[in-house]
Structure 1
């Protein structure tokens, strides 16, 4: 029965349009064949960055200079039957053009990846700065509220001065009561 489900012929609807057989949703699709091979973009990107970093070093320039110098020396001073690229050095020009045609896109790919990393880093720094500003504003408001609250809090010196005023008032009243009591007698 299961093989019959898979081998159903195309059906025609009421309109006469030929429809492909329905696929079952409980089974995975068969993988499609592709003309272009699949590759891991991240691995290829890391590889291109390594090449671009090497192409941008003095070591690469030194090795390339040594290679070209050896090529020229060999093709000028070697016996004529051992020379593989005579004077106009067409093959050397072709090799250098091929190297440049591969190096330029790899360098551009590495730069694009670096731009993407810089963009992500910039976005993270911007968000961190926004959080820092918000935290600073919050702390500023809290400090201002504490200052206002401290302005309303009774300090030790204020309480001492109030108590001294009350003691003076009590002393004055006592003296007033004594003076009144002495007058009544």
Structure 2
């Protein structure tokens, strides 16, 4: 029996390796490099791309709108618009009026404005809450560091007080020197 020196991989037809390559590229496209179990895999792209938006930009816009809705300027504009609307639809000629007395269209417009304002205000509040939470954590860290520094300084001050208590003061040194001088004077007198 003749011996075949080719490895088992070389005996397979070329089409199977091409198929494996295609399958592996499809799997790569499916998994997009995430082989971890805690990361959800991305699905294949469809012909119609999913709409995406920048959540941060939308949040900033909602905060600007919410800030404007809370100003006196907005209240003045809204009051002026409503007064103009009501005045026009009461005092204008009949053929130019677009919303008669029960002002249904005005009610619809105000309801629409309120239905959009409420979620925008809530979104702005959520973003502010997230910023406040981050600021609170920073403040807590700074407070902990400050407290640790204060405790360190208190310990240092206590050790300095103890050390100063053991240090000879100027008055103590003067009194010791006076007593030594007095002893020397008495010794000298005893010699003479």
The answer to whether the 8 Å contact 2:29/2:44 transfers is no
1:140 aligns with 2:127: no
Match of 1:79 among 87, 93, 98: 93
Give secondary structure in 1 for the equivalent of 2:28: coil
Matched with 1:130 is 144
For 1:22, the equivalent position in structure 2 comes to 27
Deviation at 1:24, TM superposition (A): 7.2
Find the residue that maps to 1:87 and give its secondary structure.
coil
Q: Answer with 163-172 or 57-66: which moved more.
A: 163-172
Q: Name the structure 2 match of 1:32.
A: 45
Task: Work out whether 1:97 is the aligned partner of 2:111.
Answer: yes
Give the C-alpha shift of residue 35 in structure 1.
6.8
For residues 126-171 of structure 1, give each alpha carbon's deviation from its aligned partner in whole angstroms, at most 9, with x where no partner exists. 2222222221221111111111111111233322222222222233
TM-score, length basis structure 1? 0.75
How many residue pairs match? The answer is: 166
Contiguous gaps of at least 5 residues in structure 2: 1-13, 34-41
In the TM superposition, what is the alpha-carbon distance from 1:47 to its structure 2 partner? 0.4
Assess, with a 3 A threshold, how the Cα gap between structure 1 residues 113 and 75 changes in structure 2: closer, same or farther. same
